[in-house]
Amino acid sequence: MLSTEISNILGQRNGHSGSNIIYLIAIKYWIMKFRVEIRYKEGVEDPEAVTILKNFNILGYKGIKDIKTSKVYYIEATDESEVSEVTKKILANPVIHTYSIDVVDGSIA
C-alpha cells in the first residue's frame, strides 16, 4: 500500500522537490504514540491494590495506608479516534473503569 502511494505521488510530481514528496508521504502516514491509562473508578474495589496493601502490612510496612493500581498501554496509531474506540470497547470496562488518553509524541514509521 505504501509503495503504491509513493509511486502515485512520484508520478504526480508536478514540480515538487524530493523533500516535498517525503513531506507529503510523512503527513499521510504520521504515526502518533498514545498513552492510555486505565484506573478503577472511585468507590470500586481494586483487588490487586487490596492484596498489595495486605502484603505490605504483613511485611511490617504499617505507614502505607492506601494504594491504587492502574494499567498503562502505549499504542502507536495514525488515528486517535481508533485508539479511543478500542479503549472504550476493549481495554476499559465503563462500569468499573475510568481512563485517560494522551498523545506522547509523534514519529514517522
pLDDT tens digits, 37-54: 999 999 999 999 999 999
Note the residue count of the chain. 109
Q: How confident is the model at residue 74 (pLDDT cuts 50, 70, 90)?
A: very high
* Averaged pLDDT for residues 5-14: 58
Q: List the grid coordinates of 2.
A: 505504501
Ranges of beta strands (E only) in 1-109 are 30-40, 70-77, 97-108
The residue-averaged pLDDT of 76-81 equals: 92
Task: Output the nine-digit C-alpha cell for 40.
Answer: 478503577
What are the Cα distances from residue 36, in Å, to 45, 56, 71, 98?
A: 21, 28, 8, 11
Q: Could you please state the CATH topology (level 3) that the domain comprising 30-108 is classified under.
A: Mth169; Chain: A , (3.30.1280)
This prediction has a pTM of 0.68
Q: Which residue has better confidence, 96 or 28?
A: 96
Which has more pLDDT, 30 or 77?
A: 77
